[in-house]
Structure 1
């Protein structure tokens, strides 16, 4: 469990560094990008190994059939994670599409996973995304909406979303977690 907590903390700190210590980040300059990338890679490895190796300690029992809502929520979560970089219509309507996607992803996974490790992983990353949005908003002030790009960019993201959804479902099945059960236990 300690490795999982370390991974989530490292992920959050690597992302918060720029916002919490802007002078230090500016002093380091572009050299910081490599260090941040390594920290993020290490955090992902720690989270995966920590989560997979964590003891199952139940906290709450997911509602029977709630897996279907999880599956449905994953579509906007994946879409939002890509919509910001696509510069389509959605990117001009939502200030933080990628972070919003992470929040939806985290909530969806907390609906179907009621154990301590899941609360640490999904709850931790969901909390990170909310705090990150707050820190960005505080640092940058009022949002001036970008000009909306063509809807065709959002359509491409939607197509990629369904392809990624299928890949993610395949990987979950391969790891032994069928996402289409509807009820988890």
Structure 2
């Protein structure tokens, strides 16, 4: 469990610099330069992610069960992760109505993804992993909205083709992950194969 916690601290800590202290983050970026900052940020994040994956895998070998979620929660999680995938794609497709309305769809998608997994899993490792990401996404969304208000950020208008493309790509990515990649990468078939 220690490896998982360490990974969460490293990964979410790096991703929380802007939430906790934007001046600290900006100062580090200025001292290192934009390219070096990206390299350091990416390397630290990759290290944290590797520790999370390794630690979660270790924790799954000897799970500490806190509760047994009802079977129906698997179906709720599948539906919620569909929403999360659409939100994730919305962060990258320019001009879609989802981003124009919600402003930070990746953070919202992370919240939905984490909540879905908390509903359908009941081990201590799950609570640490998905609870940690849920807390981070809630704080990150709040900080991002505060920055938007402070900076007077204006999001561009929505275009229907971009919105349709966002939804179609999100559903396609969700289907590929739900029906194949989740089992191949994580070892759990969420659609019950």
- TM-score normalised by structure 2 residue count: 0.85
Distance of 1:139 and 1:163 partners within structure 2: 32
How do 1:98-113 and structure 2 match up within 5 A?
98-113=106-121
Equivalent pair of 2:103/2:155 in contact (CA under 8 Å): no
Q: Once the 2 structures are TM-superposed, how far is the Cα of residue 8 of structure 1 from its aligned partner?
A: 1.2
Structure 2 residue 19 is the aligned partner of structure 1 residue 14: no
Two-structure CA RMSD over aligned residues (Å):
1.8
Tell me the residue number matched to 1:26: 30
Q: Unaligned 5+ residue runs, structure 1?
A: none
Q: Once the 2 structures are TM-superposed, how far is the Cα of residue 44 of structure 1 from its aligned partner?
A: 1.5
Distance of 1:162 and 1:85 partners within structure 2: 15
1:122 to 117, 126, 130: 130
Q: Once the 2 structures are TM-superposed, how far is the Cα of residue 173 of structure 1 from its aligned partner?
A: 2.6
How do 1:77-88 and structure 2 match up within 5 A?
77-87=84-94, 88=96
Distance of 1:3 and 1:136 partners within structure 2: 29
Equivalent pair of 1:70/1:109 in contact (CA under 8 Å): yes
Structure ranking higher on relative contact order (CA contacts 8 Å, 6+ apart): 1
Pick which of 107-116 and 41-50 moved more.
41-50
Q: Aligned residues, how many?
A: 181
Equivalent pair of 2:56/2:125 in contact (CA under 8 Å): yes
Tell me the residue number matched to 1:52: 57
Structure 2 residue 175 is the aligned partner of structure 1 residue 171: no
Describe the shift of the 1:136–1:28 C-alpha distance in structure 2 as closer, same or farther (beyond 3 A): farther
Pick which of 40-49 and 149-158 moved more.
149-158
1:156 to 165, 168, 171: 165
Equivalent pair of 1:91/1:148 in contact (CA under 8 Å): no
Equivalent pair of 1:18/1:25 in contact (CA under 8 Å): no
Q: Once the 2 structures are TM-superposed, how far is the Cα of residue 140 of structure 1 from its aligned partner?
A: 4.2
1:70 to 51, 74, 77: 77
Q: Once the 2 structures are TM-superposed, how far is the Cα of residue 93 of structure 1 from its aligned partner?
A: 0.2
More helix by share: 2
- TM-score normalised by structure 1 residue count: 0.89
Q: Unaligned 5+ residue runs, structure 2?
A: none
